[in-house]
Amino acid sequence: MTDFIIETNQLSKSFKSKQALRGLDLRVPAGSIFGFLGRNGAGKTTTIKTLMGLLRADSGSAQVFGIPVADADNSVGIRRRIGFVTEDKELYPYMTVEQIIRYTRSFFPQWRDDLERRYLERFELDPKVKIPALSKGMRSKLMLLLAISRGAELLILDEPTDGLDPAAIEDVLCELVSIAASSGTTMFFSSHQLAEVDRIADHVGIIDQGRMVVSGSLDDMKLRYQRLQVVFADSAKIPTHWSEGIESLRQQGRTVSILASRNVEDIAEQAQSIPGTTVERFPVTLKEIFLEHTRSN
Amino acid sequence: MIFRLNQSSGVPLYLQLMEQVKHAVETGALREGDQLPTIRSLAEELVMNPNTVVRAYRELEHEGVVELRHGSGAFIKESAADRGRLIRRAQAVVHSAVERLTLLGLTEEELRRVFENEISQARPEGQWRKLSGGKP
Amino acid sequence: MLWYKGWLETRYRLCMALGITAFFLYTLHSFPPQAKNQIFAVLQNTSAILLGMICTMLAGAGIVTQPAFQRTKGLHGSMLFTLTLPVSRLRLLVVRAGLGWVETAATIGAFCCGIWFASPFLRATATSAQVLEYGLTTLVCMSAIYFLSVLLATFLDDTWRTWITLMAFIFFWWFSHRVSLPAYVDIFSAVGKASPLIAHTIPWSTMAFSAVVSLALFFAAWKVAQAREY
């Protein structure tokens, strides 16, 4: 049995104005870095809030560490083992850096003093500064420090690099990778930045309109998806029915551009069997996969 | 050994890493017994997922390019280094062929077609065995 | 460290509450009541209103609480942070409601001691033990108002909560003067004409009623806090 540290089954949640989640199936393998991608309003934050016990799903189930999140007492126990970064990086405006560290530490018996010291230094956080005096980037880093120093098995990060400048983003990604390498902590992060996800995620899940449209190992996805550029001798020869596996097909004159998510060999063969065609194959980027699955169809 | 990966490309990172290691062996930049960076240090240096590095190293071991010694790291195998030397000799052969053909007046496109024809003609006769470290 | 955080959030409110109390006591001292009916008036009306206001102010116990002087932002970000910590909502509610209640008690205590020193007439007509009884009575009776504010704080933001509690308080106060209420319900009398300082007895039934109402309101607050979605 594969070890999923987060698992949801047909999770559904609607609010007064809209249906946020429509039967979401999410599986996050333990020890992975999972990039949760989706457009604004697709349901990323709703999913994360449900996992953290802030919202209750209408139907379906969600488990973290194999424990159902629906039970309030369980939820407290689950949260004790998670390092979390909120979407808006707001903390208490009346505390200093030092105060909020002490405060947060009191809830986590497994707090890592060594990590706290390390990140205070690396992120250049002055303990005496009041939180409102910090820039948004510094607040994000402080939240990360608070999340990581808990010594948790799982990190759930909602847009961790939001509002950070490129140098700060680099710092943050570097630290996340370092943690993954040294402790095997699972990381689940939602992001708009495909470039980041491309770099450090080994698994991705793309959510669109409340549903998981594609998910799995990023490397496998890149291997499975291919773009075929087929030039026909005569546009009349272009087949009307194609083999399975085509996500999209665009035709311009005698050229047909195909994005296939599987079965590429059969599709290529079908094209090549028509005399006079040339077939070229190109790899597909994560961005193309993302756009393909999230643009309104 | 400096690795440069294109992290936004459609080619999976582990494949890119493997390609670069194999290329380094072929050009002689990596020799038998040379140690690849540890998983952790490479992941941190390139800011990439350590699992990806693990996968690349495992695949390289599967293909016989490296040997994973438990606790010590990944080392280039002698057979891979030998293969690398063979590739370099092959490169020299192709180099002189290309030189001569260019003197004959062939364009780059024609050169490419000539080579591809040769390869695809040879294939159906089964002359090309699956290459995974054996000598022809 | 939830108490610590609560303290950081409410210490200025407490100062304000004590300040208002001090100001009131100063006024009392400058125009001391000379007769029984004047004390009666002071206790029944002015102090009841004052204490009601104080309860309202100090009951920022909702999980929806926003720190003072912070712009209203709908769902306050730092509350998100609090709710994602490994604490149950019950514990959050208990600490904040508890802290506010302690602060209310402290203010009432200050008020009672102050009233004793501010009015020589009172010193002449009541014993110091009765002042303590008065303090206790006031605290328990005003708790009903306090916990109403706590309940409202679980689903309203600070501004709405304060105004609605105040409206409710004034309405009931006005109502109690219009209609003759049974003794155990009339908390305003309990801090006024029926209080230990005037009637020289402890209005146990009113205190019991208020205690029950307080518990019920706290329970309701807990249920709302538990059910709420953020």
CB contact under 8 A, A219 and B49: no
- Spatial neighbors of C201 by CB under 8 A, at least 6 apart, are C194
| pLDDT tier, B136 (very low <50, low <70, confident <90, very high otherwise) | very low
Determine the distance in angstroms separating the CA of A131 from the nearest CA of chain B, rounded to an integer. Answer: 29
CB contact under 8 A, A72 and C83: no
Is the pLDDT confidence value at C58 over 50? yes
pLDDT reported for residue A297: 52
Chain B, nearest residue to A34 by Cα: B49
Please state, for a pLDDT cut of 70, what percent of chain C lies above it.
Answer: 90
CB contact under 8 A, C230 and A55: yes
Over chain C, what is the mean pLDDT? 81
Which subunits count as partners of chain A given 3+ CB pairs below 8 Å?
A: B, C
Query: pLDDT tens across A188-247, in order?
Result: 999 988 989 999 999 999 999 999 999 999 999 999 999 999 998 888 888 888 888 898
CB contact under 8 A, C78 and A93: yes
pLDDT reported for residue A12: 95
Structure tokens at A189: 């992060």
Measured between beta carbons, the chain C residues lying within 8 angstroms of A79 are 84-86
* Half-sphere exposure (Cβ direction) of B117: Cα atoms closer than 13 Å: 6
Residues C14, C102: Cα–Cα separation, whole Å: 10
Least confident of A89-98, B107-116, C197-206: C197-206
For residue B28, count other CB atoms closer than 10 A to its CB. 12
| pLDDT tier, B131 (very low <50, low <70, confident <90, very high otherwise) | very low
Over chain B, what is the mean pLDDT? 84
Determine the distance in angstroms separating the CA of A157 from the nearest CA of chain C, rounded to an integer. Answer: 12
Please state, for a pLDDT cut of 70, what percent of chain A lies above it.
Answer: 99
| Distance in angstroms between the alpha carbons of the first and the last residue of chain B | 30
Question: What residues form DSSP beta bridges with A187?
Answer: A33, A155
Is the pLDDT confidence value at C63 over 60? no
Cβ atoms of A65 and A78 within 8 Å: the answer is: yes
State the sign of the Cα–Cα–Cα–Cα dihedral A235, A237, A241, A242.
negative
Radius of gyration of chain A (CA): 23
Determine the distance in angstroms separating the CA of A280 from the nearest CA of chain B, rounded to an integer. Answer: 15
Is the pLDDT confidence value at A28 over 70? yes
For residue A242, count other CB atoms closer than 10 A to its CB. 17
Cβ atoms of A1 and A150 within 8 Å: the answer is: no
Structure tokens at A146: 């608070």
Q: Which residue shows structure tokens 């402890």?
A: C202
Higher-pLDDT residue of C1, C124 = C1
**Alpha-carbon dihedral of residues A173, A179, A181, A186, nearest 10 degrees?**
-90
- Spatial neighbors of A253 by CB under 8 A, at least 6 apart, are A235
The DSSP letter of residue B77 is -
Among B41, B49, B52, B59, the strongest candidate for a mutation testing the A interface, having the largest count of A CBs within 10 A, is: B49
- Spatial neighbors of C132 by CB under 8 A, at least 6 apart, are C112
The alpha-helical segments, DSSP class H, found in A35-148 are: 44-51, 72-79, 97-105, 113-122, 136-148
Residues A55, A67: Cα–Cα separation, whole Å: 16
CB contact under 8 A, B11 and A198: no
Whether the CB of B114 is below 8 Å from some CB of chain A: the reply is: no
Determine the distance in angstroms separating the CA of C76 from the nearest CA of chain A, rounded to an integer. Answer: 8
CB contact under 8 A, A33 and B49: yes
Among A46, A94, A101, A136, the strongest candidate for a mutation testing the C interface, having the largest count of C CBs within 10 A, is: A94
Measured between beta carbons, the chain B residues lying within 8 angstroms of A283 are 9-11
Q: What is the ipTM of this complex?
A: 0.86
Higher-pLDDT residue of A14, C31 = A14
Which subunits count as partners of chain C given 3+ CB pairs below 8 Å?
A: A
Measured between beta carbons, the chain A residues lying within 8 angstroms of C86 are 76-77, 79-80, 107-108
Residues C99, C94: Cα–Cα separation, whole Å: 8
Q: How far from A32 is each of A154, A175, A202, A273, CA to CA, in Å?
A: 10, 15, 6, 42
Q: Which residue shows structure tokens 């200050």?
A: C110
Residues A246, A262: Cα–Cα separation, whole Å: 7
Q: How far from C187 is each of A236, C167, C211, C214, CA to CA, in Å?
A: 92, 16, 11, 12
CB contact under 8 A, C1 and A86: no
Determine the distance in angstroms separating the CA of A220 from the nearest CA of chain C, rounded to an integer. Answer: 34
| Distance in angstroms between the alpha carbons of the first and the last residue of chain C | 22
Q: What is the mean pLDDT of residues C1-22?
A: 87
Is the pLDDT confidence value at A4 over 50? yes
CB contact under 8 A, A199 and B15: no
Whether the CB of A89 is below 8 Å from some CB of chain C: the reply is: yes
Measured between beta carbons, the chain A residues lying within 8 angstroms of B120 are none
Whether the CB of A87 is below 8 Å from some CB of chain C: the reply is: yes
CB contact under 8 A, C5 and A80: no
Amino acid in position A47: T
Whether the CB of B112 is below 8 Å from some CB of chain A: the reply is: no
Among B4, B47, B53, the strongest candidate for a mutation testing the A interface, having the largest count of A CBs within 10 A, is: B47
Measured between beta carbons, the chain B residues lying within 8 angstroms of A178 are 40, 43-44
Structure tokens at A120: 């205070």
The enclosing H or E element of C165 equals: helix C158-178
Query: pLDDT tens across A260-287, in order?
Result: 998 888 998 888 888 888 888 899 999 9
Whether the CB of C204 is below 8 Å from some CB of chain A: the reply is: no
Chain A, nearest residue to B48 by Cα: A200
Query: pLDDT tens across B42-79, in order?
Result: 999 999 999 999 999 999 999 989 998 887 788 998 88
Residues A90, A110: Cα–Cα separation, whole Å: 24
pLDDT reported for residue B123: 64
pTM: 0.84
In C79-228, the DSSP E strands lie at: none
Which subunits count as partners of chain B given 3+ CB pairs below 8 Å?
A: A
CB contact under 8 A, C86 and A54: no
Chain B, nearest residue to A173 by Cα: B47
Touch C-B: 3+ C-beta pairs under 8 A? no
Residues constituting chain C? 230
CB contact under 8 A, A202 and B47: no
Whether the CB of C83 is below 8 Å from some CB of chain A: the reply is: yes
Is the pLDDT confidence value at A149 over 80? yes
The enclosing H or E element of A231 equals: strand A226-231
Structure tokens at A64: 């973290």
| pLDDT tier, C115 (very low <50, low <70, confident <90, very high otherwise) | confident
